[in-house]
Amino acid sequence: MTNLNAVDPAAVAQDAHLEGADVVIGKNTIIFRRFMRNKTAVAGLAIFLALTVFSFVGGYFTQWDKETIDPFNIGMPPSAEHYLGTSQAGIDLYAMTVEGTRISILIGLIVGLVSVLVAAVYGCTMAYFGGKVDKVMLFILEALIMMPALLVVAVATSGGGEGLKRDLPSWLLLIIVLLVFSWMGTARLIRSLSMSLMQRDFVKASQYMGVPARRIVWRHLVPNIGSLLVLDITRGVTGAILAEVAFSFIGIGIKVPDVSLGVLIGGATSQVQTFPWMFWVPLTVMFLLTGSLAMMNDGLRDAFDPSSSSSGSAKKRALKTRVKGNAS
Amino acid sequence: MLRYLAKRGITYVFMIFLTTSAGYFLAVSSLKPALLEQERIPRPTPEQVANSMRLKGLDPDLSPWERYVEWLTAIVTRWDWGRSPNGAFINAEFGDRVWISTRLFLASIVLTLVIGVALGVYSAARQYKFQDRVITSYSYLAYIVPAPIAYFLVQLGAININETVGERIFFVTGISTPGLEPGWAQFIDMLAHYAVPTVAITLVGWGSYQIAQRQYLLDNVNADFVRTARAKGLTRNQAISRHALRVSFIPVAQSIAFTIPAIFAGGFFAEKIFAWPGVGSWSIDAISLQDVNAATATLAYGSVIFALGAILADFATTLVDPRVRVQ
Amino acid sequence: MSSEIAAGRVEQPQSPAERLHVAGLHAPSDAILSVRDLNVRFNTENGIVHAVRGVDFDLMPGKTLGIVGESGSGKSVTSLAIMGLLPTTAEVTGSVRLKGKELLGLSDKAMCEYRGNELAMVFQDPLSSLTPVYTVGTQIIEALTIHNPGMSKQTKEARAVELLAMVGIPSPKERLRAFPHEFSGGMRQRVMIAIAIANNPRVLIADEPTTALDVTIQAQVLEVLHTAQEETGAAVVMITHDLGVVAGMADDIMVMYAGRPVETGAVDDIYYNPRMPYTMGLLGAVPRVDVAEKSSLVPIEGMPPNLIHPPTGCSFAPRCPLASDACLEGEPALAPVPDGPLHLAACIKSGSLGGDVDVLDVFAAPPVPVSRFDAIPREERATVLQLKDVRKHFPLTRGALLKKRIGTVKAVDGLTFDIREGECFSIVGESGSGKTTTLLEIMEFHKDQDGEVVIGGISNKKAADARAKSAMRRELQMVFQDPTGALDPRFTVYEVLAEPLQNAGMEKPAIRKRIMELMKLVGLQPDHVNRFPNQFSGGQRQRIGIARALAVNPKLVVLDEPVSALDVSVQAGVINLLDKLRAELGLSYLLVAHDLSVVRHISNRVAVMYLGKIVEIGEVDRVFDNPRHPYTRALLSAIPVPDPQLERTRERIILQGDLPSPLDAPKGCNFATRCPVFAALPKTKQEKCLTLEPPLLPVTPSPAAQTLAADPLPALDQRFACFFPDGEIDEDMLVVHEAADHHAP
């Protein structure tokens, strides 16, 4: 201990040996294990994955597609030929559900992922620059929050045959509008979180060492807001799916001939007494989708929470190594 | 305090101006009332259409910027928000509808808050017990159902009740039965009309308040100042209800103010489904009728409601939290 | 009223606790509070934590018992168990009797009759212990209402005013309507004391009542507690980790370790004649502010045991230098030691220990390290840091929502000092004096600063380009106060230490080699590099922080309260490490600390700051032994020393009030508003203090010394800023506790 500058070759060798050994469980592993221990969350993940797979390959299990009219089966209940019956126009409901699920998942995933990305960039930029930039960007953000999104969606998707409406399918248009109005809350959260992280001593320590700003952002800020980002992605996906259904349900948003879960549910409301399956089938699918995401979100939150009561072998093991360390 | 509110007010006026202007440009460039006119039978000539539009201040030949200037001048100088393609004046149409919307939402807002906060407190007091699990699960369920579908399901339920009983107890659409004598009958009629939408909006709305109130209260249950209160000689429950509860209201009070815009936004769906001719259903109809001025006016209205909510939130926070009071 | 209940109980068959009670050292009727075999268990996810294991004590009316222990020793849990404030999940067994009435097992409701009435408590953190949304008046009156339902509103208000006046809050009538956030920490703690004594309690439990406060405020609050005890005649249980705080106050001391009392006795027995190695270690681990002679501190290696596993031997044995195999066979009981029946220790070797055993030998404290620079006169050493007239002024705004500029805060106002190679320079002062701002001004040096900061010979005025800046950065590293917050929780130790090295452009193999070196340098096991910070104890984390600061071989290390977050026994190890590193690596330190004992122990020079200005600066022994500025004198006199006899007779300068708002800073001397000398000055002389700013002038040797000396004496390394350093001290601010007044046998 007294000879400070000599390097003990044995220690270096020991270190090399330790590199490969599983001395410490990585944080990601702990999170993964905690998530996998949460049965509800795993069930949610399984349902969501199953629905996604279904929406892509489900079409191959039937000969019908969402455009072909079966003139002999109009408004029929489920049968061997039409698994989920047909609509009043004679279109196979199964084929439409598969298509609608795919569109809904697509909208959810794109909006969820991209809006969190936008929010992260916007929020971090605000926190990083601060001052005037922060003020102006916050103003824009609040102004966007103030805009009633629903009206803008309505205006954008019901334009009179010109502009965007003509060039883009309605689902893509909806994605764009939802994106514009979905990232502000997360951005504000990320801003305040990053700002408080910037004040933390370990960030200051890096600054005082002269570590460049971008490396601090990348190595300290991003990993520390990572859990929030993951949570917000699942929340964002749920939110986008719900928004699509809500908008399409009252007739703005996605318009026929494009199909989505919202369109199917909304279209069936008027005959819910006479053709109940037309209403309940897409509604069930929607519940499975949003419900599975909520279950996942719950499990993820618990897994990320350092004070989580979901203690398992991982935590105990960490404790054990600590005790061992003291003894040695 | 007043100076502060004035400052916030000015900021919001500026914001409303910006959002409304942006909304106008969006509306003016995507809504084309003239195209709808041309689908009338007998089909009018383009000149006739343009003429009638010009008379209503909706000249399609002018550039968006020219129309914007014209529209803005009318508002600033005469508080005239323009006319619809069918000739109706926005100002006149607006008043009635704002009143209808407000009537619909007032009861729901109060009920949502009271039930949500009360259940939040109740479930926090019984954390992890059966009641807590049921209440909190319901709130999470409410979160994954889109509002219009929930309204629709409540409507279906009311129809079922009517059918089971065999008589019309609840009105599931509309605002009142015309031609009733003022008095008891009209009051009962009003209740029958209000019940379903109010219940629907409340059922969907309270969940988020329940979860928030429960969380904030639980955060404060073990606070140091609750311990101090107990050390004075209050029982645990007394200490929580006198000290923790009051502190846990601070963040709730802040979010309460934001319910108002949220419920008005949800109101678009409610009015549409229960067929109440309020601002929400009007704005959606206006958009499908390519009505630029009405769409912009409702958009401005939404922004104003939001700004009011935000100022109210500041005000509410100041009221419950002495720490932010401005001397 | 409850005597019948008590009488009824006596006839019941005696429980073990009951028998112990009877066999106790005092007859039960004597003791106001009597605790027997108190055990507390918590069920946690990792197992059952046995937090308190068999605490016994008797508290006599009007006496003070000090419970001393480190975090996790079970002292706070004991107090909460007595109050019945533990969560319902805690399992509490044993007996707690207040005036002979059993309190354990009472319902929450039944306990409420005693809490706040006969049994009152003051908590540690005054900032969070008052409800933020009610005025202090409401909160005091609530305590009165609960136990005096019949009291009229006027009476209650009058009593609240009286209480506030008693705890020393100026203009109490107006302050009744103030909210807690309008009070400083010290003032809030006074309010807490007022609430606690509102109903004239028989027993007052104070759980670390001054830990979060500045020394000057600590002295005030301790004084208030003293007054409160005199006024109410309450018996006091004083819980603390600071052996100095209780030295002057307590009659008896109980030292706790790992949930058990390990030594109890009269205060003098414990301090002068400790019989348990842990007590000895604790006493040796704290540096003394009143002793100039430098000796290493006693480090107690290791950590307290995990209370989930029942101990098989003495729980201190793993950390005890005297431990032998016999110590591992069963936990030793608390037994009387040879010198007296009232002095008990839980150590099988207590017979061979005592006041004449040198604790430094027992714990094998390292020798005092000697730096190669110590032999070189200061003037001949290179300057590593120089500040010239550095200023930092902030606009002061009021209002949480609407910010209104109402003035300027001169956080740092014309600071000039330098640090030479191999020396430790400390800045001391209350919070708000500008210490931390000074550090920030140095760490965040930039071209447009007001004043000049020269680091390693490069001035901030010339640090325009990145290269000059990084050259300056390499000379200067920092160790933070909170070792947990200073380490990214997502980094392994390896990554933490690699960051500065990577930034310096070092190659991978060299980085690995350097990290192994660093781990050993700070006394950590090199094979722990793959662990995350949360797997280390506080002391170990601080060592990691020190290793990171040393990674790039800086000349100067800035230490921001490096040990204030650590337990006493751990603190000693870190201080010894800092001492050793300074000597062996030839480092210079800039230390900011509120603990003057630590400052005296490791620094060579010291500066005392008050409201952004240095009021006294110089060689540490000179300043501490012959303080010239009244503020320095007050600061030094406020520090309690772990020496009961000295504490009882020492005269203390108690400053009035808090640090003034920077807005009220007078034109002349900043300190005039609180100055004990100023208060006693005649009006004519006061005028000078109020109008002229005293310059920082060197202490001149007294004329007598100069005439005696053959050669002209060299100027002393001590400067201060006061016109009347020899003035009388105002009597109101001078407090002496008569030894007899409070410590009757």
Encode pLDDT of C316-345 as tens digits.
988 888 888 888 888 888 888 877 778 899
> Does C700 have pLDDT greater than 80?
no
Gap from C109 CA to chain B (nearest CA, Å): 6
Q: Which of C476, C444, C437 is nearest to C457 (CA)?
A: C476
Encode pLDDT of A161-214 as tens digits.
444 555 677 788 888 888 888 888 889 888 888 888 888 889 989 988 888 888
CB-based contact (8 Å) between C151 and chain B? no
Nearest chain C residue to B238, by CA: C109
B chain contacts of residue A155, beta-carbon cutoff 8 Å: 23, 26-27, 30-31, 287, 295
Entry pTM: 0.81
pLDDT value of position C467 = 81
> Does A319 have pLDDT greater than 50?
no
pLDDT > 70 fraction of chain C, expressed in percent and rounded: 90
CB contact under 8 A, B148 and A246: yes
pLDDT value of position A313 = 33
pLDDT value of position C711 = 63
pLDDT value of position C29 = 55
Encode pLDDT of C378-413 as tens digits.
888 999 999 999 998 887 766 555 556 667 778 888
DSSP secondary structure, B52-92, as one string = HHHHTT--TTS-HHHHHHHHHHHHHHH----B-TTS-BHHH
Q: Shortest CB distance from C121 goes to which of B7, B222, B231?
A: B231
Mean pLDDT for chain A overall: 76
pLDDT value of position C740 = 40
Handedness of CA C343, C346, C351, C354 (dihedral sign): negative
Interface probe with C: pick from B8, B225, B242, B320, most Cβ of C within 10 Å: B225
Alpha-carbon C161 to chain mean position: 31
Strand partners, C336: C344
B chain contacts of residue A165, beta-carbon cutoff 8 Å: 30
Strand partners, C392: C412
CB contact under 8 A, A208 and C478: yes
Report yes or no: B31 and B287 within 8 Å, Cβ to Cβ. Answer: yes
Residue B110, C-beta contacts closer than 8 angstroms, at least 6 positions apart: none
What are the phi and psi torsion angles at B325 (to 5°)? -65, 135
pLDDT value of position C714 = 63
pLDDT value of position A105 = 92
pLDDT value of position C4 = 39
Half-sphere exposure of C365 (CA within 13 A, CB side): 26
Mean pLDDT of B49-67: 77
Neighbors of chain C by Cβ distance (3+ pairs < 8 Å): A, B
C chain contacts of residue A202, beta-carbon cutoff 8 Å: 485-488, 491
B chain contacts of residue A249, beta-carbon cutoff 8 Å: 146, 148-149, 152, 269
Count residue pairs from A and C with Cβ separation < 8 A. 109
> Does C522 have pLDDT greater than 60?
yes
CB contact under 8 A, A15 and C477: no
Gap from A294 CA to chain B (nearest CA, Å): 8
Gap from A156 CA to chain B (nearest CA, Å): 7
Q: Which of B153, B291, B98 is nearest to A151 (CA)?
A: B291
- pLDDT band (50, 70, 90) for residue A265: confident
- pLDDT band (50, 70, 90) for residue B266: low
Mean pLDDT of C489-493: 86
CB contact under 8 A, C402 and B326: yes
Please state, in angstroms and rounded to a whole number, the distance separating the CA atoms of residues C357 and B188.
Answer: 94
pLDDT value of position C77 = 92
- Give the amino acid at C181: H
pLDDT value of position C707 = 65
Q: Shortest CB distance from A154 goes to which of B140, B265, B284?
A: B284
Mean pLDDT of C143-155: 92
Q: Shortest CB distance from C133 goes to which of B3, B229, B320?
A: B320
> Does C7 have pLDDT greater than 80?
no
CB contact under 8 A, C46 and A316: yes
B chain contacts of residue C193, beta-carbon cutoff 8 Å: none
Q: Which residue would you say has higher pLDDT here, C4 or C296?
A: C296
Interface probe with B: pick from A48, A147, A242, most Cβ of B within 10 Å: A147
Mean pLDDT of A295-322: 54
B chain contacts of residue C147, beta-carbon cutoff 8 Å: 233
Q: Which of B281-285, C15-19, C434-438, C443-447 has the lowest mean pLDDT?
A: C15-19
What are the phi and psi torsion angles at B266 (to 5°)? -65, -25
- pLDDT band (50, 70, 90) for residue C557: very high
CB contact under 8 A, B4 and C142: no
pLDDT value of position C9 = 38
Mean pLDDT of C628-639: 90
> Does A318 have pLDDT greater than 70?
no
The total of other beta-carbon atoms located within 10 Å of residue C352's CB is: 11
Mean pLDDT of B270-299: 85
Nearest chain A residue to C445, by CA: A208
Encode pLDDT of B90-135 as tens digits.
888 888 888 888 888 888 888 988 999 999 999 988 888 899 999 9
CB-based contact (8 Å) between B8 and chain A? no
CB contact under 8 A, C133 and B326: no
Q: Shortest CB distance from B26 goes to which of A152, A250, A262?
A: A152
Encode pLDDT of C67-101 as tens digits.
998 888 889 999 999 999 998 888 999 999 998 89
> Does A123 have pLDDT greater than 80?
yes
CB contact under 8 A, A224 and C490: yes
Gap from A274 CA to chain B (nearest CA, Å): 13
Gap from C641 CA to chain B (nearest CA, Å): 30
Q: Which residue would you say has higher pLDDT here, B156 or B179?
A: B156
Report yes or no: C613 and C671 within 8 Å, Cβ to Cβ. Answer: no
A chain contacts of residue C473, beta-carbon cutoff 8 Å: 208-210
pLDDT > 90 fraction of chain B, expressed in percent and rounded: 13
> Does A22 have pLDDT greater than 50?
no
pLDDT value of position C402 = 54
Please state, in angstroms and rounded to a whole number, the distance separating the CA atoms of residues C577 and C580.
Answer: 5
Nearest chain C residue to A225, by CA: C490
Handedness of CA C216, C217, C221, C227 (dihedral sign): positive
Q: List C residues 492-521 in contact with A (Cβ-Cβ < 8 A).
A: 492, 499-500, 503, 512-513, 516-517, 520-521
C chain contacts of residue B251, beta-carbon cutoff 8 Å: none
pLDDT value of position C26 = 44
Q: Which of A43-52, A143-152, C291-300, C653-662 has the highest mean pLDDT?
A: A43-52
Distances in Å between the Cα of C34 and the Cα atoms of B238, C229, C344 are: 28, 19, 17
CB-based contact (8 Å) between B127 and chain A? no
Please state, in angstroms and rounded to a whole number, the distance separating the CA atoms of residues B153 and A233.
Answer: 29
Distances in Å between the Cα of A214 and the Cα atoms of A124, A205, A206, A271 are: 11, 15, 11, 58
Residue C379, C-beta contacts closer than 8 angstroms, at least 6 positions apart: none
> Does A275 have pLDDT greater than 90?
no
Count residue pairs from A and B with Cβ separation < 8 A. 118
Gap from A19 CA to chain B (nearest CA, Å): 42
> In this structure, what token pair is assigned to residue A108?
């959810």
Mean pLDDT of C271-282: 89
Cross-sheet strand order for the sheet of C383-398: C404-420, C383-398, C450-455, C458-459
CB contact under 8 A, A210 and C473: yes
Please state, in angstroms and rounded to a whole number, the distance separating the CA atoms of residues C112 and C173.
Answer: 29
> In this structure, what token pair is assigned to residue C69?
């222990």
> Does A227 have pLDDT greater than 90?
no
Nearest chain A residue to B309, by CA: A146
Interface probe with C: pick from B232, B246, B312, B321, most Cβ of C within 10 Å: B232
pLDDT value of position B110 = 87
CB contact under 8 A, A201 and C486: yes
pLDDT value of position A281 = 87
Encode pLDDT of B185-239 as tens digits.
888 888 888 889 999 989 988 888 898 899 899 888 888 999 999 999 999 889 9
CB contact under 8 A, A4 and C517: yes
Q: Shortest CB distance from B303 goes to which of A146, A238, A243?
A: A146
Mean pLDDT of C710-725: 78
> Does C739 have pLDDT greater than 50?
no
What are the phi and psi torsion angles at C390 (to 5°)? -80, 135
Q: List C residues 552-581 in contact with A (Cβ-Cβ < 8 A).
A: 552
Mean pLDDT of B40-67: 76
CB contact under 8 A, A151 and B298: yes
A chain contacts of residue C516, beta-carbon cutoff 8 Å: 7-8, 11-12, 15
CB-based contact (8 Å) between B120 and chain A? no
Mean pLDDT of A205-227: 84
Say whether the ipTM exceeds 0.85: no
Mean pLDDT of C598-606: 92
pLDDT value of position C665 = 61
Encode pLDDT of B17-50 as tens digits.
988 998 888 888 777 776 666 666 667 777 777 7
Chain B residues interacting with chain C (CB cutoff of 8 angstroms): 3-4, 7, 222-225, 227-236, 242-243, 246-247, 250, 314, 318, 320-324, 326-327
CB-based contact (8 Å) between C402 and chain B? yes
